[in-house]
Amino acid sequence: MEKEIIFLVEEVPEGGYTARALGHNIFTEADSFAELKKMVQDTMQCHFEAEEMPRLIRLTSPFPDKNLSESVL
């Protein structure tokens, strides 16, 4: 079991956000950052069994000035 999984969050030019897991084939998108956090949690529950779920899900952005980095779990 991994302890942490990191999602790279990017703003979409058309509006909204995408989140792509680093090192995994996991992707989701949403219209708002708050909605994206919920979508990441839902996606993780679909991808991992409960006993395999990483204890920490981290959202990070390549643009530090956007302040999109935070932990979901």
Is 44 among the domain residues?
Answer: yes
Is 65 among the domain residues?
Answer: no
According to DSSP, the β-strands at 70-71 and 4-11 are unpaired
Is 72 among the domain residues?
Answer: no
pLDDT in tens, 26-70: 999 999 999 999 999 999 999 999 899 998 999 988 766 655 555
Residue tagged 């981290």 (tokens): 58
Is 20 among the domain residues?
Answer: yes
Q: What range defines the domain where residue 38 resides?
A: 1-49
Q: How far is CA 30 from CA 10, 12, 40, 51, 55, in A?
A: 11, 10, 9, 27, 23
Is 29 among the domain residues?
Answer: yes
Is 56 among the domain residues?
Answer: no
For the chain, how many structural domains are there in total? 1
Is 68 among the domain residues?
Answer: no
Angstrom distance (rounded) from CA 67 to CA 60: 8
* pLDDT at residue 24 tops 90: yes
